[in-house]
Amino acid sequence: MSRIVYVNGNFVPESEAKVSIFDRGFLFADGVYEVTPVVKGKLVDYDALVVRLDRSLGELKMSWPCTKTELRQMHEELIKQNKLDEGIIYMQVTRGVADRMFNFPKDIKSTLVAFPQVMKLVDNPNAKTGVKVVTTPDLRWARRDIKTVMLLPPCLGKEEAYQKGAAEAWMVEDGKVTEGTSSNAYIVKDNKIITRPISNSILNGCTRRALFRMAKEHQVEIEERLFTPEEAYAADEAFLTSASQFVMPITEIDGKRIGGGQVGPVVRKMRELFLEEAQKG
Ligand code: PDD
């Protein structure tokens, strides 16, 4: 089925959606993006995304492509026109179209595109068994806090994971896990969740933020600190979070079984809490 997508103010069939070859997103990866989960036709945790988008745009001195109200309406219209029940809305803002030059062209209008993707978020079968992860060097730049479309290193990592029969790669820098190629990374030891603190080294995940809030509400302890792959191998549980995976158990890292290869109680509980809230709408 052909989707209706959004390009610079227009809702069009995907086959008619066009962006210039001079778009700086295409030439320089000069753009940012966001992914919002949709459950039962409703946006999940949308406001957190707007805050992060605003920050990403600001850090790159890029202007907003529309008002915040228009952006929300655009998301809702895409859900409606595509009758999207469950999945994600992907949106991307690039600096705009100009002759190729490295410095920022003056007075250009940013490009805004968005599209839906149908996905099974709630009944994702991977959540029952847990997924496998491999570790790989973190090849990314020094501003991973900005959600840019410059995603070749994460694509290389994810492809490596897939080649090895895993679902995600945890990237490692200076001997410590930074995060997944498209998710934040966690281990659990003695019922305590351990995850890397927010800095320029990782993306401040909206799902991570929601997890922190829920953990606090339910007296689950979280310790923010760096951890090594070796510590992860010896953890009781491990998991990842992202807009498209929510809270996803990990049962194997680099071929080593975590928690005896079973989904553990802490991650199960955190996923349940997350699903409960997402389904409430
Ligand atoms: N990725 N870290 C990285 C590097 C990510 O790309 C993502 C999300 C996250 C989790 O952020 P959030 O919880 O806000 O989704 C962490 C999205 C899902 C993607 O690129 O498809």
pLDDT in tens, the chain (281 residues): 699 999 999 999 999 999 999 999 999 999 999 999 999 999 999 999 999 999 999 999 999 999 999 999 999 999 999 999 999 999 999 999 999 999 999 999 999 999 999 999 999 999 999 999 999 999 999 999 999 999 999 999 999 999 999 999 999 999 999 999 999 999 999 999 999 999 999 999 999 999 999 999 999 999 999 999 999 999 999 999 999 999 999 999 999 999 999 999 999 999 999 999 999 86
Are 146 and 56 contacting, i.e. CB atoms less than 8 angstroms apart?
A: yes
Domain's final residue, options 68, 84, 118: 118
* Same domain flag for 163 and 242: yes
Of all atoms in ligand 1, which is nearest to the CA of residue 207? Answer: 13
Residue owning tokens 């599209």 = 115
Question: What CATH number is given to the structural domain containing 19?
Answer: 3.30.470.10
* Same domain flag for 223 and 113: no
* Same domain flag for 142 and 211: yes
Distance 233 CA to ligand 1 centre (A): 23
3-state DSSP assignment of residue 163: helix
* Same domain flag for 102 and 150: no
Whole-structure pTM value: 0.97
* Same domain flag for 193 and 211: yes
* Same domain flag for 47 and 138: no
* Same domain flag for 217 and 252: yes
* Same domain flag for 14 and 33: yes
Domains in the chain, number: 2
Domain span at 41 = 4-118
* Same domain flag for 145 and 75: no
* Same domain flag for 139 and 95: no
Residue owning tokens 């847990």 = 130
* C-alpha to C-alpha distance for 185 and 171, rounded to whole angstroms: 9
Is the Cβ atom of 208 under 6 angstroms away from ligand 1? yes
* Same domain flag for 30 and 110: yes
Question: What CATH number is given to the structural domain containing 230?
Answer: 3.20.10.10
* pLDDT score of 1: 65
Distance 183 CA to ligand 1 centre (A): 5
* C-alpha to C-alpha distance for 99 and 84, rounded to whole angstroms: 37
Buried b (16+ CB within 10 A) or exposed e, 183-197: bbbbbbbeeebbbbe
Are 215 and 222 contacting, i.e. CB atoms less than 8 angstroms apart?
A: yes
Distance 78 CA to ligand 1 centre (A): 21
Is the Cβ atom of 183 under 6 angstroms away from ligand 1? yes
Domain's final residue, options 83, 118, 153: 118
* pLDDT score of 280: 87
User: E-strand spans in the chain?
Assistant: 4-7, 10-13, 31-39, 42-43, 87-94, 111-118, 131-137, 168-173, 176-180, 184-189, 192-195, 222-224, 237-242, 246-253, 256-257
- Residue 147 appears among annotated catalytic residues: yes
* Same domain flag for 102 and 132: no
Domain's final residue, options 72, 87, 118: 118
Q: Which residues contact 10 (CB under 8 A, 6 or more apart)?
A: none
